[in-house]
A = this chain, B = another copy of it.
């Protein structure tokens, strides 16, 4: 969108920095890429947003000027408190919109991500809160992702992925990535949805298919798909395998 919005003069009001939609997207991407102590890398941000790394460098400087991120040259970027607040509100919007579209307008759960991605920048706080209220203030979206509160609190527990469960382990599906509709349909076809109970029956060598029991039915799942499913439960073993930033190969270059 961006109306020109003459970058310079912004009323020094505490909050309300009048961000463009793009800027918000950067903040959200950084939020999702930062983990614990690791700052978000420029390339990771670029590939998540589907734009060139050089473009990201530029925007990060702007965001730094606005006090929304801290950047250490060549070293990575992390959100400041106020950047984090913006990101969390955007995520709140996104997840409430997804929930609303599924519950009230009959959208399929694999079909709401893109819609929410656009609406989250256009919806007013009033609209979001009305939707939330109408839904009974849900705490998780249709993919199991926790919804930040108005005050910016969110459940930040990290779960292990289904791909890293040991053979024999049992767990409950907590959430899954919502960024790829094909993946969601693949998972739905196998009964994998938030709340489902899974048990790993066997795994093939060389990253072969994983055989699991899902709510008592036996199913085969590719490790790539399983890597995007997070589970919690008794025996969620860890074997992390550093796949940071690689969840969902969404480096699909923007349309152009």
On A, residues with C-beta under 8 Å from B are 1-3, 6, 9, 20-22, 101, 104-107, 111, 114-115, 118-119, 121-124, 126-127, 130-131, 134, 254, 256
Q: A1-B2, A256-B6 are in contact. Are A134 and B121 (CB under 8 A)?
A: no
Residue of B nearest to A134 (CB): B105
Residue of B nearest to A55 (CB): B4
B115 in contact with A127 (CB, 8 Å): yes
Q: How far is the CB of A157 from chain B (nearest CB, A)?
A: 32
A105 in contact with B122 (CB, 8 Å): no
Q: How far is the CB of A56 from chain B (nearest CB, A)?
A: 14
Tell me, in angstroms, the Cα distance from A66 to B31 when the chains sit together. 39
Q: A130 touches which one: B6, B106, B123 (CB < 8 A)?
A: B106
Q: A122 touches which one: B2, B119, B254 (CB < 8 A)?
A: B119
B118 in contact with A130 (CB, 8 Å): no
